[in-house]
C-alpha cells in the first residue's frame, strides 16, 4: 500500500516542477533581447509508481507526482543549417555588389570629368588643329587635353590598385576573425561535451556556439556537422577548420599588390601548409573573387583602352610632319594605363601635315580626329568595358536583393521557432503560477488530513 505521506511527496514534486517552469519562463523573458538566445521550455513528465510489486510493497496505480525531465532548447537544426547557408550566399552577393559599386565610382561614368568626356575633348583638340594647323595655341591645347586623358588613365589604374590592396587588408582581418571564432567553437565544444556527459544543461553554451557558427558561415561560407557527443565540426570547402576540440588556422598568401597578381594569385590557405581544397565562400569568397577576377579583369580592359589609344594615334601620327618638318615621332609612349604618357615635348612636334612641304596642311590631324568613331578604337573599347561593368553590377545588385529577401524570410522562420514571445511567456508564467498555487493547496489539504488523523482521532467522548 502507498504511504499515507505519499500525497505530500506528490504535491511537493509539483511545487518543484512548477517553480522550475517559472524559472525557465523568467529566463526566457530576461533574454528576450539577447542576440542568439533560443527560448527554452520545461518538459514535464509524470513520475510512475512502483512497477515491481513485492509482498509488502504493492502499487495502488497512482503515480509518484511530476518531474521536469529536461529543459528543451527550441531551435530547429535544419533551419539553422539552412540559415547559415543562405546567409553565406547573401554576404557573398552583398560584398560583390559593394565591390562593383566602388569600381563604378572609380570610372564615374557618365561625368564631364570622366574618361569618355576627356577622350571626346581630345578628339576635338585634334579637329581644332586640323582646322588651324598653324595655330600654336590649338596644338598646345591638344597636348594638355591629351595629358588629361593620360592622367585619368593613371588615376583609374591607381584607384583599382588601391582597391585591390584594401581588399587584401580586409581579407587578412577576416582570416584572423575566422581563426578566433574557430578557437571559440572548439572551446565551447569541449565545455558542451563535458557538461552533457555530467548530465548538465548546455542550452546557453549552444546558443553562444551557434552565434560563432553563423559568423563563420558569413565570413567564409563554413558548413557544420554535428557529432553524437554534442560537439560540432566546422568545414571550409571540404577541409576541417574545427574537428571536435582542435582547430586549424587559415592565412592569406600570394601577391601583395595588383601588379604581382598575375604571377602569384591571392589565395586563402592553411597556415604553413597547402592551400584550401576549395575556396572559401561568404565575404572572404567574394573578396578573393574581386581580387583574382574582377579588379584584374577591369585593369586589363583599361590597359587595352590605353593600348588602343596609343596604337591608333601613333599609327597615323608617325606618318605626319610637325611644324619643324620632322616626321616619324610617336604622340604617345607606353601601352598600359599605368605607363602611357604624352611623348611630344611641345606644340611644334605635333604632326598635323602629311607632307614636309605642306607644314600647314591638317590632313594627319583630321584623320586622327576621326579615331573616336572607329569601331576598333579606344572609345569603343572603353564604352564596351563600361557597359559590361554596368550590366554585371546591376545583375549583382538584383541577385543580392533577391538573396537578402530569402535570408530575411528564413530568419523570420528561425525567429518564430526559437525567438522569445513576451505574450507567450506571460501566459506560461500565469500557467505555472496557477499550478504552483494548486500544488500548495494540495499540500495544505494533505497536511490538514494528517493533522486530523494524528492529533484528533479518538478524542470524541473523552
C-alpha 155/C-alpha 266 separation (Å) is: 23
pLDDT of 289 reads 94
**pLDDT tens digit string along 97-144?**
999 999 999 998 888 888 999 999 999 999 999 999 988 999 999 999
Peptide bond into 110 cis (omega under 30): yes
pLDDT of 300 reads 94
Q: How sure is the predictor about 10, in pLDDT bands with cuts at 50, 70 and 90? A: confident
pLDDT of 325 reads 85
Domain boundaries, the chain: 6-74+419-456, 82-410
**pLDDT tens digit string along 406-454?**
999 999 999 988 899 999 999 999 999 999 999 888 888 887 887 777 7
Nearest to 244 by CA among 181, 187, 197, 196: 187
pLDDT of 246 reads 92
Mean pLDDT computed over 196-206:
90
Q: Could you tell me which residue, 30 or 263, shows the higher pLDDT?
A: 30
> Against a cut of 0.95, is the pTM above it?
no
Q: How sure is the predictor about 56, in pLDDT bands with cuts at 50, 70 and 90? A: low
- Which residue is associated with the grid cell 601613333? 314
Express as a percent the part of the chain with pLDDT over 90: 63
**pLDDT tens digit string along 148-182?**
999 999 999 999 999 999 999 999 999 999 999 99
**pLDDT tens digit string along 247-257?**
999 999 888 99
- Which residue is associated with the grid cell 563563420? 216
Mean pLDDT computed over 224-240:
91
Nearest to 190 by CA among 227, 238, 239: 227
Whether the CB-CB separation of 241 and 224 falls below 8 Å is answered with no
Q: State yes or no: pLDDT of 1 exceeds 50.
A: no
- Mean model confidence pLDDT for the chain: 89
pLDDT of 444 reads 86
DSSP 47: P
Q: Could you tell me which residue, 215 or 280, shows the higher pLDDT?
A: 215
Amino acid at each position: 500500500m502507498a504511504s499515507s505521506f505519499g500525497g505530500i511527496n506528490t504535491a511537493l514534486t509539483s511545487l518543484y516542477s512548477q517553480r522550475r517552469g517559472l524559472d525557465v519562463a523568467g529566463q526566457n523573458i530576461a533574454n528576450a533581447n539577447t542576440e542568439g538566445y533560443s527560448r527554452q521550455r520545461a518538459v514535464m513528465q509524470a513520475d510512475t509508481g512502483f512497477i515491481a510489486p513485492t509482498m509488502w510493497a504493492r502499487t495502488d496505480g497512482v503515480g509518484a507526482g511530476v518531474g521536469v525531465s529536461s529543459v528543451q532548447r527550441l531551435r530547429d537544426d535544419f533551419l539553422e543549417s539552412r540559415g547559415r547557408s543562405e546567409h553565406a550566399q547573401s554576404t557573398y552577393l552583398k560584398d560583390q555588389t559593394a565591390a562593383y559599386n566602388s569600381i563604378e565610382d572609380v570610372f564615374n561614368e557618365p561625368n564631364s570629368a570622366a574618361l569618355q568626356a576627356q577622350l571626346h575633348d581630345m578628339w576635338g583638340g585634334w579637329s581644332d588643329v586640323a582646322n588651324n594647323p598653324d595655330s600654336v595655341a590649338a596644338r598646345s591645347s591638344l597636348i594638355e587635353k591629351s595629358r588629361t586623358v593620360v592622367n585619368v588613365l593613371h588615376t583609374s589604374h591607381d584607384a583599382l590598385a588601391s582597391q585591390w590592396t584594401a581588399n587584401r587588408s580586409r581579407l587578412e582581418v577576416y582570416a584572423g576573425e575566422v581563426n578566433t571564432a574557430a578557437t571559440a567553437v572548439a572551446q565551447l565544444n569541449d565545455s558542451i561535451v563535458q557538461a552533457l556527459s555530467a548530465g548538465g544543461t548546455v542550452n546557453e553554451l549552444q546558443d553562444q556556439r551557434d552565434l560563432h557558427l553563423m559568423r563563420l558561415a558569413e565570413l567564409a561560407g563554413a558548413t557544420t556537422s554535428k557529432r553524437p557527443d554534442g560537439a560540432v565540426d566546422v568545414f571550409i570547402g571540404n577541409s576541417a577548420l574545427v574537428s571536435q576540440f582542435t582547430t586549424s588556422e587559415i592565412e592569406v598568401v600570394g601577391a601583395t599588390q595588383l601588379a604581382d597578381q598575375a604571377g602569384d594569385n591571392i589565395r586563402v590557405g592553411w597556415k604553413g601548409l597547402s592551400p584550401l581544397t576549395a575556396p572559401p565562400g561568404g565575404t572572404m569568397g567574394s573578396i578573393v573573387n574581386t581580387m583574382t577576377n574582377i579588379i584584374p579583369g577591369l585593369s586589363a580592359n583599361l590597359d587595352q583602352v590605353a593600348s588602343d589609344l596609343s596604337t591608333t594615334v601613333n599609327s597615323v601620327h608617325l606618318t605626319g610632319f610637325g611644324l619643324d618638318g620632322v616626321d616619324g615621332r610617336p604622340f604617345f609612349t607606353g601601352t598600359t594605363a599605368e605607363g602611357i604618357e604624352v611623348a611630344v615635348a611641345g606644340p611644334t612636334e605635333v604632326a598635323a601635315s602629311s607632307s614636309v612641304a605642306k607644314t600647314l596642311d591638317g590632313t594627319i590631324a583630321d584623320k586622327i580626329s576621326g579615331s573616336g568613331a572607329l569601331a576598333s578604337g579606344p572609345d569603343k573599347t572603353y564604352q564596351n568595358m563600361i557597359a559590361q561593368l554596368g550590366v554585371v553590377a546591376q545583375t549583382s545588385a538584383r541577385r543580392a536583393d533577391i538573396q537578402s529577401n530569402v535570408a530575411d524570410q528564413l530568419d523570420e522562420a528561425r525567429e518564430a521557432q526559437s525567438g522569445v514571445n513576451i505574450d507567450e511567456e506571460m501566459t506560461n508564467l500565469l500557467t505555472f503560477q496557477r499550478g504552483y498555487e494548486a500544488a500548495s493547496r494540495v499540500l495544505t489539504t494533505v497536511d490538514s488530513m494528517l493533522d486530523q488523523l494524528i492529533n484528533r482521532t479518538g478524542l470524541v467522548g473523552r
